[in-house]
Chains A and B, each alone.
Chain A
Amino acid sequence: LAKTTQPISMDSYEGQEVNITCSHNNIATNDYITWYQQFPSQGPRFIIQGYKTKVTNEVASLFIPADRKSSTLSLPRVSLSDTAVYYCLVVGGYGQNFVFGPGTRLSVLP
C-alpha cells in the first residue's frame, strides 16, 4: 500500500494557478494516482486520475513524472469556490486500496 505525503495547507489568491504536489515513493507498477476534492459537509468528489505523463480534464491537470514517485495536481485560475481539501490517493490497478491521506487544505483568498 503506497503511502502518500502532501502539504497540510496552501493559500492562494483568486485567478492564480495552484499546484499541489503529492509524494508516493513506493507506488506499485499497477497503481493509479487519483485526486479528490472535498467541501465542508460533503463527501469527497473525484477530480482526476492518471498513470503517467499528463492528464487534463475540464477541472484540472495532473502531471506525473517518469518515475511516478510523485504527482502534481494543477488547478488553473482558482476562484473562491475552489477552497476545499484536496486528497491524493494511490489506488490499486484492480480498484482496491482506497485509502485517504491527510489531504491539503487549500484556501483561496480574494
Chain B
Amino acid sequence: SAVISQKPSRDICQRGTSLTIQCQVDSQVTMMFWYRQQPGQSLTLIATANQGSEATYESGFVIDKFPISRPNLTFSTLTVSNMSPEDSSIYLCSVKGLTANTGELFFGEGSRLTVL
C-alpha cells in the first residue's frame, strides 16, 4: 500500500490568486495522478505526472492553469493558477502502488479549495 499526505487539507482563496497543493507519498512511485472532484460529482482526471517527464494533461486542462511539478518519486505539486469561483473543488492526489492489482490506485484525503 501507499500512504499519501496532501497539504493543505482545505483553504479559502481569493479570486485571481494561485495556490499550490503538495502531495507526499511514503514510498517511491512512478505513476502519480491529479484529480478534481466538485461537490456531488465524480472524479475528473486533470493530469498524469510521471517522474522524469512532463505531465500529461487531459482534455480541458492546460499547463498554464494547472502547472505540475514532479521532482522525485515521492513528491508532487499541483498549482491552481489565477483562481476563480469555478475552481472551488476538492483536488485529489493518487498514486499507482506496487501491488499485484493493475487497477489499484491509492488516494490522499484531498485538498478542499473554496474560491471567493
Contact = CB atoms under 8 A, between A and B. Distances in A.
Q: Do A and B come from one complex?
A: yes
Contacts of B116: none
B103 A46 contact: yes
Given A43-B92, A43-B110, A100 B43 contact: yes
A49 interface: yes
Contacts of A45: 107
Interface in A65-110: 85, 87, 89, 91, 93-95, 98-103
B86 to A, nearest CB: 20
Nearest to A47: B104
Interface string B36-80: 000000111100000000000000000000000000000000000
Contacts of B101: 34, 46, 49
Interface of A: 32-34, 36, 41-46, 49, 85, 87, 89, 91, 93-95, 98-103
Classify chain B's interface size: 20 to 34
Given A42-B109, A43-B92, A43-B108, A98 B102 contact: no
A103 B103 CA distance: 16
Contacts of A34: 101-104
> Chain B's interface: helix, strand, loop or mixed, by majority?
strand
B102 A32 contact: yes
A45 B108 CA distance: 10
Given A42-B110, A44-B43, A98-B94, 15 more contacts: A32-B103, A34-B103, A42-B107, A43-B107, A43-B108, A43-B109, A49-B101, A89-B103, A95-B96, A95-B102, A95-B103, A98-B45, A99-B45, A100-B43, A102-B42
A103 B41 CA distance: 9
B105 interface: yes
Nearest to A48: B101
A102 B42 CA distance: 5
Contacts of B104: 34, 46, 49
B12 interface: no
Given A32-B103, A34-B104, A46-B105, A98 B42 contact: no
